[in-house]
């Protein structure tokens, strides 16, 4: 029998370990190692509990227990929003008026993938957006065909020739984010909470588009991607008229001032300076750190969506993105 | 031998089911072929391998048959995770819809591993099932969830490296026919619900619970495996398929076409498995399509009405005129074993197998059920990553029947000193 099933040999002592500053630094180092060697992680043990994250030390503990966290810098959020200045992407969103492949959660996941992949600002490109969005759809949607609509928008007229390469790029992105394509709802919501008024986060999907039936072969028409040249399909369910939607107008307003950074960001939400500052922490304090507490700590909270009980109040604006 | 053959046939059946995440049409094909033709040699071969493995599992805390592996094999230092050369393939264990599973050994640390080699089609990239499985498992660390150690990703292939676990509940039940020891059922059930409680707490649904997806270690540790159909239910309004869960373990709401399911989906499967462990036979078996499957369920629970299941009449497949009228039965009259056990057993089964999903007990609440109060109290306070067998006094009892050693009761648990 393998040693690892005898987990008592290796499991760390207690979940309520107080992490001293030095230990914390070590943890950071180990984390760097662990990126290459996933198996080494076990020794660190399960994340602690973050029930009472009051006071700086407690908050630090919470931060460490979250596992790897992402610090979102102002310009990264801005760069992501800037993607939506692109006319093609705007048209693409407009086409998906029912938000079947671009609802707010999928878009938030796309952003989280950008972060997890550590895309530089230069890599905030149209094609990377489509690749990440496709991965988000792969992860979340049982409806398999809707996402094919992405191909003609991302690859142009000759998409039939190029889509295998596109899928390879999706797989490469999946590898680059260390095979962690799962993003919790809480994480999505905390990303959205940074600039809650942005038009992207208004893209709610209607309830009637939430179920799916697997399509079987005897169906006559195969739903083919329509692409940029066709007008959007009329949705019988939504019976939505496809006039100039509010989203396109709000997008232009958003693009004129890409970061209407109200609320959370202007609070100058530098997280409690841990003794284990991330590189990015040193560089700037115009940032918003974000971590979705890992489920381990989350389970002490109410289900996602009921954040008030979670201790991590909006005031301290501990918006964390969890990488685990 | 005849017995063995019979068991083999049953096992093929299970292996066959494992072959794909079946829709019901495929299921009916298998049903037919099973009873009309000889099993294919390919499967027979696989079973031989498996049979040996099961026999050996009684002493396989020493997987290399007494040889000192450490001495014969120099562990390579400098070997990396994430590369194929770090693992040796030993034997093929089975084949699934999108992957082949091999037993292997890690050259980094000598651990036995299960290597799940994903088939990749150049046109399609990595199958979505693989993307979901690895992405979810990466975030799950629990004693009752199979552990994903490593991922080997090259241009041509993708391999998941899992901890190696000796057998699964389907094989275990084949080896011990006629229903399992009630004590062991309790321990398995506790672990199953513990694993479910953990994933459900993370808003993750397994969606493919069945005995062959519950791995069983030589000690009796149960681990949820095969997250290929799993997905997170945390994000509202995402699309769901009703084509999930092998037919026998599919809950009535999903059979009726509901796509609005949640964690109660897995609870129904757990209830079916509970009955199957006690009875030694599936709870709702042997049907060819969704309607027959529903009829099987109504025969026990009665045809639901708007009164006892508000909203049922709005589900796409709900056609009461198609169903024979049935009255609810006492579970003990349907599944005789329940009548021989204390009432709390039947009570738990009833709470797991409620037709209306919102009436089904949650995994977390089920763990508090009276049925489990004969287990040592510290079990409730275990940390996620600690096995229930760490608690003193928790161990499996010998099963009454064993097809591999008929006529003698074997001690299933082994002295820990043999563990390496």
Interface confidence, given as ipTM, is 0.73
What residues of chain B, 96 to 125, have a C-beta less than 8 Å from chain A? Answer: 109, 111-113, 122-125
A-to-B residue pairs, Cβ atoms closer than 8 angstroms: 180
pLDDT of res. B123: 76
pLDDT of res. B191: 98
pLDDT of res. A268: 32
For the stretch A146-190, pLDDT in tens is 899 999 999 999 999 999 999 999 999 999 999 999 998 889 999
pLDDT of res. B343: 96
What residues of chain A, 119 to 138, have a C-beta less than 8 Å from chain B? Answer: 135, 138
pLDDT of res. B337: 95
Contact B132, B92 (CB under 8 A): no
Q: B235, A188: Cβ pair inside 8 Å? A: yes
Q: CA of B127: which chain A residue's CA is closest?
A: A138
- Residues A13-29 have a mean pLDDT of 33
- What is the band of A229 on the pLDDT scale with cuts at 50, 70, 90? confident
- Residues A113-135 have a mean pLDDT of 95
Q: CA-CA distance, A85 to B193, in Å (whole number)? A: 49
Residue count (chain A)? 324
pLDDT of res. A217: 38
Alpha-carbon A162 to chain mean position: 26
Least Cα separation, residue B61 to chain A (angstroms):
5
The structure tokens listed for B8 are 């083999």
Least Cα separation, residue A237 to chain B (angstroms):
15
- Residues B5-28 have a mean pLDDT of 38
Does the structure show a pLDDT above 80 at A211?
A: no
Query: Which residues are within 8 A (CB) of A252 and not within 5 positions of it... i.e. 6 or more apart?
Result: none
Between A167, A180, A188, which is nearest B125 by CB? A167
The structure tokens listed for A160 are 């039939």
Does the structure show a pLDDT above 50 at A60?
A: no
- Residues A25-40 have a mean pLDDT of 37
pLDDT of res. A269: 33
Does the structure show a pLDDT above 60 at A209?
A: yes
pLDDT of res. A97: 83
pLDDT of res. A121: 87
Least Cα separation, residue B270 to chain A (angstroms):
22
- Strands B240-241 and A211-212 turn out to be parallel
- Closest by CA to B399, choosing from B187, B112, B115, B210, is B187
Active-site residue identified among B208, B226, B266, B402: B208
- What is the band of A231 on the pLDDT scale with cuts at 50, 70, 90? low
Does the structure show a pLDDT above 90 at A228?
A: no
pLDDT of res. A237: 66
Task: Give me the residues paired with residue B115 across strands.
Answer: B102, B161
- Residues B15-38 have a mean pLDDT of 34
Task: Give me the residues paired with residue B91 across strands.
Answer: B103
Q: CA-CA distance, B151 to B149, in Å (whole number)? A: 7
Does the structure show a pLDDT above 80 at A272?
A: no
Q: CA-CA distance, A110 to A92, in Å (whole number)? A: 15
Does the structure show a pLDDT above 50 at B28?
A: no
Q: B126, A209: Cβ pair inside 8 Å? A: no
pLDDT of res. B198: 96
pLDDT of res. B82: 79
Query: Which residues are within 8 A (CB) of B292 and not within 5 positions of it... i.e. 6 or more apart?
Result: none
SS3 B299: helix
Q: B138, A179: Cβ pair inside 8 Å? A: yes
- Residues A276-291 have a mean pLDDT of 42
Better-scored residue on pLDDT, A283 or B359? B359
pLDDT of res. A71: 74
Does B365 participate in catalysis according to the annotation?
no
Does the structure show a pLDDT above 90 at B302?
A: yes
Contact B167, B215 (CB under 8 A): yes
- Residues B216-232 have a mean pLDDT of 87
- What is the band of B152 on the pLDDT scale with cuts at 50, 70, 90? very high
Least Cα separation, residue A256 to chain B (angstroms):
31
Q: B163, A46: Cβ pair inside 8 Å? A: no
Any B CB within 8 A of A9 CB: no
pLDDT of res. B97: 72
- Give alpha helix (H) positions in B150-255: 169-175, 182-201, 252-255
Contact A320, A69 (CB under 8 A): yes
Better-scored residue on pLDDT, B1 or A24? B1
pLDDT of res. B242: 58
Q: A170, B125: Cβ pair inside 8 Å? A: yes
Place of tokens 């287990």: B375
Burial class (CB in 10 A: 0-12, 13-18, 19+), A171: buried
What residues of chain A, 198 to 237, have a C-beta less than 8 Å from chain B? Answer: 204-207, 209-214
pLDDT of res. A175: 96
- Phi/psi for A270 (5° steps) reads -60, 130
Task: Give me the residues paired with residue A70 across strands.
Answer: A290
Better-scored residue on pLDDT, B57 or A244? A244
For the stretch B164-211, pLDDT in tens is 999 999 999 999 999 999 999 999 999 999 999 999 999 889 988 999
pLDDT of res. B159: 95
Which positions in chain A touch B132 (Cβ < 8 Å)?
138-139, 181-182
Better-scored residue on pLDDT, A23 or B341? B341
Between B112, B128, B259, which is nearest A212 by CB? B259
Looking at chain B, the whole-number percentage of residues with pLDDT higher than 90 is 53
Any A CB within 8 A of B314 CB: no
- What is the band of A87 on the pLDDT scale with cuts at 50, 70, 90? very high
- Residues B253-281 have a mean pLDDT of 93
Does the structure show a pLDDT above 60 at A22?
A: no
For the stretch B55-107, pLDDT in tens is 333 333 333 333 444 444 555 567 788 788 889 988 999 887 788 999 999 99
Which positions in chain A touch B241 (Cβ < 8 Å)?
142-143, 212-214
pLDDT of res. A34: 38
- What is the band of A225 on the pLDDT scale with cuts at 50, 70, 90? confident
pLDDT of res. B156: 83
- What is the band of A144 on the pLDDT scale with cuts at 50, 70, 90? confident
Any B CB within 8 A of A34 CB: no
- Residues A268-278 have a mean pLDDT of 37
Does the structure show a pLDDT above 60 at B138?
A: yes
The structure tokens listed for A62 are 């919470």
Domains contained in chain B, CATH given: 2-55+83-163 (3.30.200.20), 168-390 (1.10.510.10)
Looking at chain B, the whole-number percentage of residues with pLDDT higher than 70 is 74
């Amino acid at each position: 029998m393998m040693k690892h099933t005898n987990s008592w040999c290796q499991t760390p002592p207690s979940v309520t370990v107080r992490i001293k500053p030095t230990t914390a630094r070590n943890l950071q180092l180990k984390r760097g190692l662990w990126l290459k060697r996933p198996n080494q992680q076990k020794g660190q043990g399960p994340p602690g509990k973050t029930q009472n994250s009051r006071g700086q030390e407690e908050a630090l503990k919470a931060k460490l227990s979250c596992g790897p966290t992402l610090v979102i810098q102002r310009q990264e959020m801005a760069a992501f929003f800037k993607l939506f200045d692109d006319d093609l992407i705007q048209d693409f969103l407009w086409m998906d008026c029912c938000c079947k492949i671009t609802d707010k959660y999928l878009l938030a996941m796309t952003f989280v993938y950008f972060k997890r992949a550590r895309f530089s600002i230069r890599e905030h490109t149209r094609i990377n957006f489509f690749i990440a969005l496709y991965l988000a759809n792969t992860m979340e949607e049982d409806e398999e065909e809707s996402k094919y609509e992405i191909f003609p928008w991302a690859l142009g007229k000759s998409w039939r020739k190029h889509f295998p390469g596109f899928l390879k790029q999706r797989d490469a992105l999946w590898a680059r984010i260390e095979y962690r394509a799962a993003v919790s709802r809480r994480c999505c919501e905390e990303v959205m909470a940074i600039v809650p008024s942005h038009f992207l986060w208004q893209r709610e999907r209607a309830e009637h588009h939430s179920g799916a039936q697997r399509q079987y072969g005897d169906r006559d028409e195969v739903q083919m991607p329509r692409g940029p040249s066709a007008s959007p399909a009329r949705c019988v369910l939504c019976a939505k008229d496809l006039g100039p939607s509010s989203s396109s107008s709000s997008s232009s307003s958003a693009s004129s001032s890409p970061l209407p950074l109200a609320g959370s960001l202007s609070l100058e939400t530098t997280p409690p300076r841990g003794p284990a500052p991330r590189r990015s922490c040193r560089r700037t304090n115009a940032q918003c750190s974000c971590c979705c507490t890992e489920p381990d700590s989350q389970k002490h909270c109410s289900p996602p969506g009921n954040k008030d009980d979670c201790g991590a109040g909006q005031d301290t604006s501990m918006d964390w993105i969890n990488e685990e | 031998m005849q017995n063995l053959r019979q068991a083999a046939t049953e096992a093929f059946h299970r292996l066959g089911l494992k072959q794909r995440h079946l829709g019901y049409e495929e299921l009916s094909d298998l049903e037919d072929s099973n009873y009309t033709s000889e099993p294919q040699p390919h499967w027979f071969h696989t079973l031989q391998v498996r049979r040996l493995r099961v026999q050996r599992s009684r002493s396989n805390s020493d997987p290399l048959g007494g040889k000192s592996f450490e001495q014969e094999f120099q562990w390579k230092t400098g070997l990396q995770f994430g590369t194929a050369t770090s693992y040796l393939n030993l034997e093929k264990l089975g084949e699934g819809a999108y992957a082949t599973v091999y037993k292997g050994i890690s050259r980094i640390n000598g651990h036995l591993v299960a290597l799940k080699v994903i088939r990749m089609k150049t046109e399609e990239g990595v199958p979505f099932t693989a993307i979901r499985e690895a992405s979810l498992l990466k975030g799950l660390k629990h004693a009752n969830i199979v552990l994903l150690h490593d991922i080997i990703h090259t241009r041509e292939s993708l391999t998941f490296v899992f901890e190696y676990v000796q057998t699964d509940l389907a094989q275990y039940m084949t080896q011990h026919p006629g229903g399992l020891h009630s004590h062991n059922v309790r321990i398995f059930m506790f672990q199953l619900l513990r694993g479910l409680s953990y994933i459900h707490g993370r808003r993750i649904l397994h969606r493919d619970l069945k005995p062959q997806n519950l791995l069983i270690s030589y000690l009796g540790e149960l681990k949820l495996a095969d997250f290929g159909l799993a997905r997170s239910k945390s994000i509202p309004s995402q699309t769901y398929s009703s084509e999930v869960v092998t037919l026998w373990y599919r809950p009535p709401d999903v059979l009726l076409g509901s796509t609005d399911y949640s964690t109660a989906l897995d609870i129904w499967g757990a209830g079916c498995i509970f009955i199957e462990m006690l009875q030694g036979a599936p709870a709702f078996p042997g049907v060819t399509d969704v309607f027959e499957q529903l009829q099987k369920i109504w025969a026990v629970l009665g045809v639901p009405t708007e009164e006892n299941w508000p909203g049922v009449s709005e589900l796409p497949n709900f056609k009461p005129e198609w169903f024979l009228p049935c009255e609810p039965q006492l579970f003990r009259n349907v599944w005789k074993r329940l009548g021989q056990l204390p009432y709390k057993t039947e009570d738990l089964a009833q709470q797991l197998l409620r037709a209306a999903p919102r009436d089904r007990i949650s995994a977390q609440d089920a763990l508090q059920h009276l049925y489990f109060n004969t287990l040592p109290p510290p079990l409730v306070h275990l940390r996620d990553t600690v096995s229930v067998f760490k608690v003193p006094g928790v161990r499996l009892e010998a099963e009454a029947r064993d097809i591999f050693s008929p006529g003698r009761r074997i001690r299933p648990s082994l002295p820990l000193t043999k563990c390496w």
